[in-house]
Structure 1
Amino acid sequence: MKNESNFIKRLLGSKERDRAFSELVNTYQERLYWHIRKLVGSHENADDVLQNTFVRIYKSLPNFKQQSSLHTWMYKIAYNESLRFIDREKNKYFSSSQEIESMIFTHFADQEYFDGNYIQEKLQSSVQQLSNKQKKIFYMKYYDDLKFKEISEILEVKEGTVKTIYYKAVDLIKQIVLNVEVK
């Protein structure tokens, strides 16, 4: 967003808040949707989590302290809403987080947009073998194209740690995709 500080003033002001929030939704809806979709799997679940995310953003605007960019702050809310959803679903239907992640990958592979390309399947399969933290960081960096600083703010982890985890994940993925024995 070009002039974020003026836009934030509009979001926090009483006169233009609803109009500014509508602009916010139009600007970030698709990006947040795909961020959430990668975490929760299905379109229906992503839509529900996205709606909850925007409700939480709207209600939390008065508490936005502008210590990070608006974009990073919203991603953090979307990320946390996704985790809350996954925890609720896991507790309802699954005995382990590994089970739900396997189900999410299977759901992705069954989608019509997932063209079954061998390399794409191999990549998705190898990502499933990463630890939860590696997966989250890999998704945010590789798919969402977030900067390391933004990821560190969202996850509340040091930037150097984020970089280390990301590059280790990339190395593991390369080893798995190329069928090289993981050290």
Structure 2
Amino acid sequence: METQEIWDTFNDGLYFFILKKVKDQNAANDIFQNTFLKIHKNRSQLKNPEKAKAWVFQIARNEINNHFTKESQYVEEFDIPKDKPLQSYQNICCFDKFINDLPTIYREVIELVYIEGKKQKEAAQTLNISLENVKARIRRAKEILKKNLNACCKYEFDEKGNLKGEPDCAVCHT
């Protein structure tokens, strides 16, 4: 199959597939372009034209994964003293107190992933637990933090789950 034929057949569907996955038009354009460059470069590897759609979309999925992998490499490194891991690094009412009050199994995961900036997979290796366990602990920790912030500080969560409002608790005013 020639590149032009692949383009004519798949370009619209492929572009919207990529856009749906990355939700950013500029990134989608870059990924789309890289996908077609790889398609053109490797079109000789497509032995069965009946499998062209699967082949094209797999290249796109690989490019999407590459995009997110590159993006995750730019996580800002924090220089946090190990002896004082949870000082006032957040401007949210009582945030440090609530993290310190988390049960140890949840606090360790939150510190590794959100404060030290490690990937969840690295946190799993550090703690010698499964990736699924890390994800579950993060989810439970977030539920506890949301409950505590809402109860103590009168913060609310919008429809997307984002924190909004002003601190309004006795702890903050001391």
TM-score normalised by structure 2 residue count: 0.41
TM-score normalised by structure 1 residue count: 0.40
| Greater relative contact order, per chain length (Cα 8 Å cut-off, separation 6+) | 1
| Structure showing greater Rg | 2
**Counting helix residues as a fraction of each chain, which structure ranks higher?**
1
